[in-house]
Structure 1
């Protein structure tokens, strides 16, 4: 099944790229590429829903450079604390 997915994307991606090239031209493809890159950057820099609701004990912002997203200051479920 995995090889079928890889084969499908290997066939569909060039066909889709060719169709987009005919419709939008090179400038359109570059614009789509830039737009997808910007969406990825914004998505990567936006905190997840869990981080938005978590309260940090020191009151610092989740977006500040001082906040470490890998280090949790408290757990949401008291049963998980040990």
Structure 2
């Protein structure tokens, strides 16, 4: 249960930061922002997976970049 709550909170933080750093406006609700952050973390984890499970700043930055990439891909596909 704690893992789910921490995923939601970190997803929200990462999603908000990705929306802030993305050039232009990104119109989405809170749930979409949380899902964006969680998806960005998953993308970053797939790209940079080295088996490390602990918290580090580079992983947070990679998660934000992964979420920005998801916004970009969504715009290319006409979703957002």
Name the structure, 1 or 2, with higher relative contact order (CA <8 Å, separation 6+): 2
Larger Rg: 1
TM-score (norm 2): 0.31
